[in-house]
Amino acid sequence: MFVGHYAVALATRPSARRAPLWVLILAVQWPDLLWPILLLAGVEQVRIDPGNTVVTPLDFVRYPISHSLLLDLVWGALLAAIVHWRYRDPKSSLWVGAAVVSHWVLDWITHRPDLPLWPGGPRVGLGLWGSVSGTLLVELSLLAIGVVLYVRGTRAVDRTGQWAFWSLLALLLAIYVSNLLGPPPPSEAALAWVSLSLWLLLPWAAWIDRHRTPAIPGPA
Ligand SMILES: [Zn+2]
């Protein structure tokens, strides 16, 4: 799952009033942002295995810290606590915590049974990645819903607020298509380094947020 995770951040932004878009993207993508760091540190492990599923050439050998349900619940609670400490808004912090856990749930729908419930525990996954059309249908539908909710629930304060958002969306779709159609990564290390570049979307989202506000003004 790729664009589906970002869809959750977009969909929740109008409700999580105090949490900026970059914080929500950090939350929905936290397991995938942590993952390349743990790969490079040798703590987690992936193998390039073309044909592993029709959608991905990756065999997720071991990723208990970034992708077990138990640890994602812990990460969610931790991020929610930090957001509550920073923004003093229980509703926003709940959305952020739920956003972290949503990553595991969406991965559980798409992955083969390779997601551990807890480190060393049983591995689960519904395997939507067995079907390209099914994956596209689910992810693009999620993205469409996310975009509609975000565009309705926020308002661009200037032109930058328009094109900064739409260009991010175009970039996400371009990454998605190139992952689907492109060749498998040349090595596990190259994959980890390319995956690290997703951190760059956080300052981009912060920039969008400075040029868009929630559409309906509410309590500060
Ligand atoms: Zn993931």
Neighbour-count burial for 36-71, b at 16+ CB within 10 Å, e otherwise: bbbbeeeebebebeeebbebbbbebebbbbbbbbeb
Using the mean position of ligand 1's atoms as its centre, give its distance from the Cα of residue 140 in Å: 17
Nearest alpha-carbon partner for 31 in 145, 141, 110:
110
Least-confidence region, from 20-24, 103-107, 174-178, 216-220:
216-220
pLDDT digits (tens, 9 = 90+) for 21-69: 999 999 999 999 999 999 999 999 999 999 999 999 999 999 999 999 9
Two tokens, residue 76: 């969610």
Q: Which residue has the tokens 């995956």?
A: 195
> How confident is the model at residue 218, as a pLDDT?
59
Question: What is the overall mean pLDDT for the chain?
Answer: 95
The whole-number average pLDDT for the span 187-196 is: 95
Using the mean position of ligand 1's atoms as its centre, give its distance from the Cα of residue 155 in Å: 30
Residue 217: pLDDT band with limits 50, 70, 90: low
Using the mean position of ligand 1's atoms as its centre, give its distance from the Cα of residue 150 in Å: 22
For the chain, the first-to-last Cα distance in angstroms comes to 34
pLDDT digits (tens, 9 = 90+) for 98-121: 999 999 999 999 999 999 999 999
> How confident is the model at residue 147, as a pLDDT?
98
d(CA 50, CA 48) in angstroms, rounded, equals 6
Whether 220 has a pLDDT exceeding 60, the answer reads no
Two tokens, residue 153: 């629930």
> How confident is the model at residue 214, as a pLDDT?
86
pLDDT digits (tens, 9 = 90+) for 114-147: 999 999 999 999 999 999 999 999 999 999 999 9
Q: Which residue has the tokens 């997601």?
A: 115
Kindly state the helix (H) or strand (E) to which residue 87 belongs, with its residue range. Answer: helix 69-87
d(CA 112, CA 56) in angstroms, rounded, equals 10
d(CA 220, CA 206) in angstroms, rounded, equals 19
Ligand 1 ion: nearby residues, β-carbon < 5 Å: 31-32, 107
Using the mean position of ligand 1's atoms as its centre, give its distance from the Cα of residue 164 in Å: 25
pTM for the full model?
A: 0.95
Using the mean position of ligand 1's atoms as its centre, give its distance from the Cα of residue 110 in Å: 10
Using the mean position of ligand 1's atoms as its centre, give its distance from the Cα of residue 54 in Å: 17
